[in-house]
Structure 1
């Protein structure tokens, strides 16, 4: 759903010096609307100095917890993150879009699988939801969690992770990596990257014993860990990734020269919340998302950078090309899904459905 709903902030906890955890109160009539799958995120909206801001934050609750929590870390120059850390108070209201995202795998109660999770900094947020939910839903499965931070003081959910370890002593293995705080075991010092993965996979973590992996963090870390996992035999389709920031800035799109047989405009039809709308747009000048918003269509979006997948839709007719993609996996693209914030029409007619999830 592309609609935003006003939710009340039930409580705010100062998790670390620069990170808050906010619990949202969901009224009974919206429980089904805000039901979530582990690893999904929420998109928030507010008006700040006359400008509409939208930001996505991962849900950190387990599905079984019965509450809805997000962690928001201050980011240098981050308009929304700094505003939220200063203004999120119990009783305040914030506009929230229902959960979206594909950063998960289907759970099977009688499964006995071994998973690997790799997180850096605030990338722990969806990973915590995935680990907690999976350990509760699959009693025969286990997790290895590799979590990187600069120092112990910046570890988000440190106490909750420790409690989780106490609860699942035989099924949860946790490795804390510190890049700026020396630890007793030299193997656990340094940044999570290609070189460190080679050390860990050779001396501590046997990849062949793990059936799937979840990675969340900066782009460089995600790419290096994913490549290392594949080099050690894990199939690419078993590696789920989620970025909390794109490492490359958006670039201006170079227009393609038009020909007599290739009109400069494309007729776009979109299906949003069951309503079909059409509009014409110029090719190669702006994304389908931006053109749709200019035509008054309330298309869901958040980052506009190809990272969060909030604007994910399915191509039913015609073709588009994407400038960037940090969110969709190969199988999703093969099924016709695209990110409308990065999609530019290359055919004279394009039909996009924003209501399809599978």
Structure 2
């Protein structure tokens, strides 16, 4: 469900990025009290067409009775309809439709040692995670390894510097610039698999880190994950969120359910959403999400690209093919979850449950 929220602040972060803060009315404070790492979906109607985008909340999580602060960072994407609007038109006082916080990149602060590897706008959810953790857990430590093109393109420089100033003994910051030399710190270049494999053991005791948070472009996240696996880190300690896919490679599960060879000529989808079930024929080429949306406009989705995970559903019966999967963890797919926006039927009957 979307709620109209007033924009209370628009802050220019870089030449191509802004931070947008929303005013949360008293009656919605409980709904918008987020967990660190969660995101919100924003909606805009243009010419009768609906545009939805997801953006991570970058502010620390507030506990009751404190008022929640919902701020997102938006970077301009070439040809992006919403990001262009956000940077060039959106002003204080405007109203934007916003869905309550969601997402499984969320983190409940606890004592321990944690680390993150982020690229570009991937800093946004991790900024919330690190700030909340350090403020709430005096025995926690956090290491942030961030990659950006240049210093001028780096989002939330001041906010990250503030963490270093407030908790110098518990917050470690390592910055790599891919297109600019630094006077101190790491030499320029991308943080790829090979470089991270050699770098991480020099920065911190890898085996002692209780949780790793990887966020940013797919290439960076994939390289970081491979490096951590190679260093012996168990996959249960690695949490990741893809912000965009930059190399065309998909880690998608080819099918869910028993092996099947070809799609049927006709399929019927049964889906349960908010306690109500329905049956619909699947049109040729349509995803299961598109099938549901023809009759249920309240079906959950945001990106339709297999990235945000908003449309996650449990596959009750039948078989499906997922074109892409950048959102679900291996244990989720093994348990029977699929992304409805990327799923196509491989059997005459398929049943999904969005409520599980």
Q: What is the TM-score of this pair, normalised by structure 1?
A: 0.89
What whole-Å deviation, never above 9, does each CA across 1:64-115 have from its counterpart, x for those lacking one?
A: 273000010111111110111112211111111121210134433xx3x111
Shift of 1:300: 1.6
Shift of 1:198: 2.8
Answering whether residue 68 of structure 2 is matched by residue 69 of structure 1, we say no
**Partner SS, residue 244 of structure 2:** coil
Residue aligning to 1:162: 161
Bigger drift between 38-47 and 181-190 goes to: 181-190
Is the 1:40–1:59 Cα contact (8 Å) retained in structure 2? yes
Is the 2:107–2:129 Cα contact (8 Å) retained in structure 1? no
**Partner SS, residue 227 of structure 1:** helix
Is the 1:270–1:354 Cα contact (8 Å) retained in structure 2? yes
Shift of 1:174: 0.3
**Partner SS, residue 154 of structure 1:** coil
Residue aligning to 1:141: 140
Q: 1:82 aligns with which of 72, 84, 93?
A: 84
**1:250/1:164 CA distance change after superposition, 3 Å:** closer
Residue aligning to 1:131: 130
What whole-Å deviation, never above 9, does each CA across 1:140-193 have from its counterpart, x for those lacking one?
A: 111110011122111111111111111111110001111222123463422111
For 1:226-237, list aligned pairs within 5 A: 226-237=225-236
Is the 1:119–1:146 Cα contact (8 Å) retained in structure 2? yes
Answering whether residue 34 of structure 2 is matched by residue 8 of structure 1, we say no
Residue aligning to 1:343: 343
Bigger drift between 268-277 and 152-161 goes to: 268-277
Q: Distance in 2 between matches of 1:270 and 1:297?
A: 13
Structure 2 portions without partners, runs of 5+ = 255-259
For 1:216-255, list aligned pairs within 5 A: 216-247=215-246
Bigger drift between 241-250 and 73-82 goes to: 241-250
Q: Distance in 2 between matches of 1:250 and 1:153?
A: 29
Is the 2:59–2:127 Cα contact (8 Å) retained in structure 1? yes
Q: 2:36 aligns with which of 26, 33, 38?
A: 38
Bigger drift between 30-39 and 304-313 goes to: 30-39
Is the 1:187–1:200 Cα contact (8 Å) retained in structure 2? no
Q: Distance in 2 between matches of 1:287 and 1:295?
A: 14
**Partner SS, residue 127 of structure 2:** helix
Q: What is the TM-score of this pair, normalised by structure 2?
A: 0.90
Residue aligning to 2:207: 208
Q: How many residues align?
A: 344
Shift of 1:51: 2.6
4+ aligned runs moved over 6 Å, structure 1: none
**Partner SS, residue 304 of structure 2:** coil
Q: Distance in 1 between matches of 2:157 and 2:333?
A: 36
Q: Distance in 2 between matches of 1:296 and 1:250?
A: 32
For 1:108-127, list aligned pairs within 5 A: 108=110, 111=111, 113-127=112-126
Shift of 1:18: 1.2
Shift of 1:36: 1.6
Q: Distance in 2 between matches of 1:47 and 1:297?
A: 14
Q: Distance in 2 between matches of 1:291 and 1:40?
A: 27
